[in-house]
Structure 1
Amino acid sequence: MGMTMTQKILAAHAGLDHVEAGQLIEAQLDLVLGNDITSPVAIHEMDKMTVDTVFDKDKIALVMDHFIPNKDIKSAEHCKCVREFACRHDITNYFDVGQMGIEHALLPEKGLTVAGDVIIGADSHTCTYGALGAFSTGVGSTDMAAGMATGKAWFKVPSAIKFNIVGKPKKWVSGKDVILHIIGMIGVDGALYKSMEFVGEGIKNLSMDDRFTIANMAIEAGGKNGIFPVDDLAIEYMKEHSKRPYTAYEADESAVYEAEYTIDLSTLEPTVAFPHLPENTKTISEIGEPVVVDQSVIGSCTNGRIDDLRVAAQILKGRKVKKGLRCIVIPATQAIYLQAMEEGLLKIFIEAGAVVSTPTCGPCLGGYMGILAAGERCISTTNRNFVGRMGHVESEVYLASPAVAAASAVTGYICAPEELGL
């Protein structure tokens, strides 16, 4: 019986020739990730262990991104805890104010994630790095602690679902629309503890930023991980950003998949997830009465990359944010912020009436920089729209692409860029 791409990576890291779905293995880790919310718990758990230090100071990444710069005393104490731990153990990849970014955009940019890696992170969207052909998945803080101490983690080898991507997307259709379409099709538990493996000739029509977005939201379908083939575009990205060697794995022709779906990119439309689940999707053409919004957020680990900001700027250029609506733009890293500034994108946002934030997760998790009051609605490029996700339990979050979020910021209701004549 053949193995999937994910199964081959896990077998190699477990020192085994072959693994099968459902098998329990212990695998060597290439990277352990934590942030300012999850790391303090892991640090306190590690303090209880009989270990003197971390397994490898170069293979741990601690990223201050959720409440940074600190929003209150509690978040300041959390960051202080992590900062002192990083100093005490001489952690190489510690990212704080001035150097930080949203973790899942920052680590690939810094070259810390490459094809063939096994990566765990105490954050559910760690599955992002599958865009580069890595096995990456979210874990709890106690698993993070064990990973930091031993460099190993236990896994149940996941079964897989194959998504055959064909065709070329229309203008204004992006990776966000692809993954929202998939989640709407299979549901939030449609890939529960399964590897979502993306293949097909249509992948060449998806940018790296598109792929990061799709892999990022694999967890929203319940996936253990999402993973893409290592093609020329992925190799080019890794060569540009990383000095680390990589290993490209390919699924066997005889690999077993629990289900297979074909996604024709040419048939997709801009898609929006209505409250209060990512599976509650509608295409723009399926929305009936106008859905008026109070806020538009363009950013997050899902859609705060340079391509996302360019699309938003293309739509906002020469236009104004609807009076009474707040538009918040959050570049995902300092490098993206700087590039956006050099390209004149920040000027476009500010002239349009938007505000530009320092890199942070901010409003995505109801943190800060855009909390909603009762009855308010937000169109957002983030990844979750659960009850109370961005503030009051009586607020609503609608998930969409940067193109839709930007166009909606101009009209004041959810719409596609075509309504602006674009």
Structure 2
Amino acid sequence: MINLFSEGAYLVNGTTLVKESEKEKLNQMTGNVPDKEEAAKQTIAYGILKEHNTSGNMEKLQIKFDKLTSHDITFVGIIQTARASGIEKFPVPYVLTNCHNSLCAVGGTINEDDHMFGLTAAKRYGGMYVPPHQAVIHQFAREMLAGGGKMILGSDSHTRYGALGTMAMGEGGPELVKQLLNRTYDINMPDVIGIYLKGKPAKGVGPQDVALAIIGAVFDKGYVNNKVMEFVGPGIANLSADFRIGIDVMTTETTCLSSIWKTDDTIKEFYEIHGREEEYKELNPGAVAYYDGIVEVDLDQIQPMIAMPFHPSNTYTIQEVNENLEDILADVEKRALVSLDGAVDYSLRDKIRDGRLYVDQGIIAGCAGGGYENICAAANILKGTSIGADEFTLSVYPASTPIYMELVKNGAVADLMETGAIVKTAFCGPCFGAGDTPANNAFSIRHSTRNFPNREGSKLQSGQIASVALMDARSIAATAANKGYLTAATDVDADDFIPKYHFDKTIYENRVFDSKGVADPSVEIQFGPNIKDWPEMPAFPEHMLLKVVSEIHDPVTTTDELIPSGETSSYRSNPLGLAEFALSRKDPAYVGLAKEIQKAEKALEEGKDPAEAYPEVKDILEAVTVAYPQVNNSNLGIGSTIFAVKPGDGSAREQAASCQKVLGGWANIANEYATKRYRSNLINWGMVPFIIDEGELPFKNHDYIFIPEIKKAIEDKLTEIPAYVVCGTELKEIQLKLGELTDDEREIILKGCLINYYRG
């Protein structure tokens, strides 16, 4: 089904793979053995990156993107940061969509205030504004923004338009601020991994099935981590545009940097349907292209898949689950003991009814599930059936109003609603716990992007837990047709005819505000009472004293655990208000501990004695100054840090870092960082991304770590920095590593954060 090459490989004429070690075979096919470095320049990814690189050095890229896009959980903070840095006009097209805070529920922020902030910002700075319920961010980008050979940067982790020939990346808000201030996105040239597709999916197999199979094969191995996935091979021709898009959007869950696909007449037709045929560009690798690794996918062999709680990589075939129900559910329960820290009683085996797995809820939604073909296929399977009158419910969210209108016209909406399903407007909420939140102990199957713990509305501190599994819309529909009993779509007989799609952009012409890039400085930004400026960030100190205020030993820590999604969305525009939720579901003691040690730093900033503000540090400071008498209140910084084994998987939301920062965080310590984007978020908020070797930690929660001359160490570009755990009157030396930092990244840390950096 999936084969990972243990070495690099050449792709010859876009069809034949030759492993790097098979030199003789390559020579027979091409007449020579191409230079590997030159052949690596023949990938599609290399060509696009070269066109957008401004550094003149393809090993050290400085990228300028063609377009930017954000949604209403992120754009307020981004624009506030840009305003604080002196922006006068958006220098590139910037689209503000409203698909996360769409419900406008009363909370810390009445979310419509955020929307009005976005509309007035689009007018003032020359952007585009998509009102709530019109489209989820990524569907609007596919329909109206993508272009062959272009690059788009978005402040959402699922910014992926590779199937349309657009290399797109999801990053934290500060990276978009850099683009808004005419700076660049700086990375080393990434490895490029070929995703070689062959064969054709069986009837009933959908894009989520293919995506989950790939994720399950690569995630634990880190095979594509921070690399570009380039989709090639003869199997692509057997996939529709929607099918390709459905696979592509899920590449984020592999932890890759970006994705790109070869394009053909199918993608050309997509652009023609959407009235943007001029944006199509044929993209193919060169005659002999070298890839740093290969994921070989036999589409013929893909079966309906399910990603069990609590990660998209926890994959099985649905057949495996049904045939080994007790064992697999027991294994999920065992894994949950780690993910949930034993905070709640968790059981799945009570979902077994008469030897079958009963599901409480089905959701088809968002950038992954809400596509036209997915919903048509689900309607075909469900037509003439009923979802029943028991616990099981089914909600369907088309990804844009144009898709919704077409589904109304072709009768699919009526077919779905007749069964008892509810068809709703474009909204990302079900993906992060702000809509269709399951009941306590409920089991939900979703064609959405993630199924992390603490994401779908569970509140562990209140004793509440829900389980989410990821599946394709087709198998969700088959399960719904069987009134909630887990069923693969390949086990039902249904019409597979998909009516031709007709895109009508009238609703966008009527409702979307487009400045055409013209700024109007006379427009005043509209603020609500809970839209707050970023607080002042202190300058970086010469010496640093850190208190460890949280210690997390899960194999991976997601951004949803660092800053929960869902109801916290009400506070996204209030940095201090949102910070109250930091680690609230993973480590409820964190906020209080961070605030306590922050008292000492605030005392330093005010020229006062930190020991009077926070007496606990008195003995610690005495031990430090005995060994380092040059340390005093004028050159010391006191703050907090967390340790996590591998933090930062998942969302691009900068708040996972900024909330720590506004609570006095100066650093993270990790064995490794799950994604480039989370590490970048730390740096952009002036936090040091320390690495420590795997093994027994030389410190524990609530310990103090002193780092002398940290400022000089960063200035001198040290990669290993001596630090000391304060144990009574003794200082026990440890080594903290920094990893590679660009000159700009060092300067941002030394200034205290990106805002300070741009203020000079």
Question: Does TM, scored on the shorter chain, surpass 0.5?
Answer: yes
User: Could you say which residue in structure 2 is the equivalent of 1:264?
Assistant: 298
Shift of 1:309: 0.8
- Residue 203 of structure 1 aligns to a residue in which SS? helix
Letter paired with 1:78: D
- Residue 33 of structure 1 aligns to a residue in which SS? strand
User: Could you say which residue in structure 2 is the equivalent of 1:13?
Assistant: 52
Alignment of 1:403-418 (within 5 A): 403-411=474-482, 412-418=484-490
Shift of 1:311: 0.6
Residues 279-328 of structure 1: CA deviation (Å, up to 9, x unaligned): 11111211133322111001210120110110110011110113221100
Residues 77-117 of structure 1: CA deviation (Å, up to 9, x unaligned): 322321221122232x310036x20111112212x111100
- Residue 414 of structure 1 aligns to a residue in which SS? coil
Contact 2:267–2:280 (CA under 8 A) maintained in structure 1: no
CA distance in 2, matches of 1:206, 1:328: 26
Shift of 1:159: 0.5
User: Could you say which residue in structure 2 is the equivalent of 1:206?
Assistant: 239
Residues 122-167 of structure 1: CA deviation (Å, up to 9, x unaligned): 000002x101111101011111122223274323321011111111
CA distance in 1, matches of 2:101, 2:466: 21
CA distance in 2, matches of 1:284, 1:116: 37
Shift of 1:420: 4.1
Alignment of 1:161-240 (within 5 A): 161-187=193-219, 189-240=222-273
Residues 218-266 of structure 1: CA deviation (Å, up to 9, x unaligned): 1100111121101111122123322544544433345432211221111
What RMSD, in angstroms, separates the aligned Cα atoms of the two structures? 1.8
Contact 1:373–1:391 (CA under 8 A) maintained in structure 2: no
CA distance in 1, matches of 2:50, 2:78: 27
User: Could you say which residue in structure 2 is the equivalent of 1:82?
Assistant: 118
Q: 1:310 to 1:69 in 2, by over 3 A?
A: same
CA distance in 2, matches of 1:363, 1:185: 26
CA distance in 2, matches of 1:17, 1:45: 29
User: Could you say which residue in structure 2 is the equivalent of 1:124?
Assistant: 157
Shift of 1:419: 4.1
Alignment of 1:46-57 (within 5 A): 46-56=82-92
Normalising by the residue count of structure 2, what TM-score does the alignment of the two structures yield? 0.52
Choose which of 286, 307, 312 in structure 1 pairs with 2:320: 286
Contact 1:35–1:66 (CA under 8 A) maintained in structure 2: yes
Shift of 1:48: 1.2
Question: Does structure 1 residue 62 correspond to structure 2 residue 96?
Answer: yes
CA distance in 2, matches of 1:388, 1:152: 34
* Greater Cα shift, 23-32 or 324-333: 23-32
User: Could you say which residue in structure 2 is the equivalent of 1:156?
Assistant: 188
Q: 1:151 to 1:115 in 2, by over 3 A?
A: farther
Shift of 1:16: 7.1
Contact 1:25–1:156 (CA under 8 A) maintained in structure 2: yes
Contact 1:7–1:158 (CA under 8 A) maintained in structure 2: no
User: Could you say which residue in structure 2 is the equivalent of 1:389?
Assistant: 455
CA distance in 2, matches of 1:191, 1:138: 16
Contact 1:215–1:225 (CA under 8 A) maintained in structure 2: no
Contact 1:132–1:228 (CA under 8 A) maintained in structure 2: yes
Contact 2:97–2:132 (CA under 8 A) maintained in structure 1: no
Contact 2:304–2:490 (CA under 8 A) maintained in structure 1: no
Contact 1:349–1:356 (CA under 8 A) maintained in structure 2: yes
Question: Does structure 1 residue 95 correspond to structure 2 residue 130?
Answer: yes
Q: 1:18 to 1:353 in 2, by over 3 A?
A: same
CA distance in 2, matches of 1:66, 1:400: 22
Contact 2:157–2:252 (CA under 8 A) maintained in structure 1: yes
Contact 1:29–1:151 (CA under 8 A) maintained in structure 2: no
- Residue 311 of structure 1 aligns to a residue in which SS? helix
CA distance in 1, matches of 2:99, 2:364: 16
- Residue 124 of structure 1 aligns to a residue in which SS? coil
Letter paired with 1:264: D
Letter paired with 1:204: A
User: Could you say which residue in structure 1 is the equivalent of 2:378?
Assistant: 312
CA distance in 2, matches of 1:83, 1:347: 34
Choose which of 407, 427, 444 in structure 2 pairs with 1:340: 407
CA distance in 1, matches of 2:102, 2:272: 30
Number of residue pairs the alignment of both structures matches:
412
CA distance in 2, matches of 1:152, 1:79: 28
User: Could you say which residue in structure 2 is the equivalent of 1:44?
Assistant: 80
Question: Does structure 1 residue 114 correspond to structure 2 residue 147?
Answer: yes
Shift of 1:35: 0.4
User: Could you say which residue in structure 2 is the equivalent of 1:33?
Assistant: 69
User: Could you say which residue in structure 2 is the equivalent of 1:147?
Assistant: 179
| Identical residues among aligned pairs (%) | 30
Letter paired with 2:86: T
Residue ranges of structure 2 left out of the alignment (5+ in a row): 1-36, 326-355, 495-760
Letter paired with 2:386: K
- Residue 275 of structure 1 aligns to a residue in which SS? coil
Contact 1:379–1:408 (CA under 8 A) maintained in structure 2: no
Contact 1:298–1:381 (CA under 8 A) maintained in structure 2: yes
User: Could you say which residue in structure 2 is the equivalent of 1:367?
Assistant: 434
Letter paired with 1:8: G
Q: 1:17 to 1:141 in 2, by over 3 A?
A: closer
CA distance in 2, matches of 1:397, 1:234: 33
Q: 1:165 to 1:18 in 2, by over 3 A?
A: farther
Q: 1:380 to 1:245 in 2, by over 3 A?
A: closer
Contact 1:86–1:94 (CA under 8 A) maintained in structure 2: yes
- Residue 319 of structure 2 aligns to a residue in which SS? helix
User: Could you say which residue in structure 2 is the equivalent of 1:252?
Assistant: 286
Normalising by the residue count of structure 1, what TM-score does the alignment of the two structures yield? 0.93
Contact 2:241–2:267 (CA under 8 A) maintained in structure 1: yes
CA distance in 2, matches of 1:419, 1:249: 37
CA distance in 2, matches of 1:311, 1:286: 23
Contact 1:298–1:406 (CA under 8 A) maintained in structure 2: no
Contact 1:179–1:214 (CA under 8 A) maintained in structure 2: yes
- Residue 296 of structure 1 aligns to a residue in which SS? strand
CA distance in 1, matches of 2:86, 2:442: 50
CA distance in 1, matches of 2:141, 2:404: 16
Contact 2:64–2:179 (CA under 8 A) maintained in structure 1: no
Letter paired with 2:478: A
Shift of 1:72: 3.0
Larger Rg, first or second structure (1 or 2): 2
User: Could you say which residue in structure 2 is the equivalent of 1:328?
Assistant: 395
CA distance in 1, matches of 2:267, 2:491: 34
- Residue 66 of structure 1 aligns to a residue in which SS? coil
CA distance in 2, matches of 1:17, 1:164: 31
CA distance in 1, matches of 2:294, 2:490: 33
Q: 1:174 to 1:200 in 2, by over 3 A?
A: same
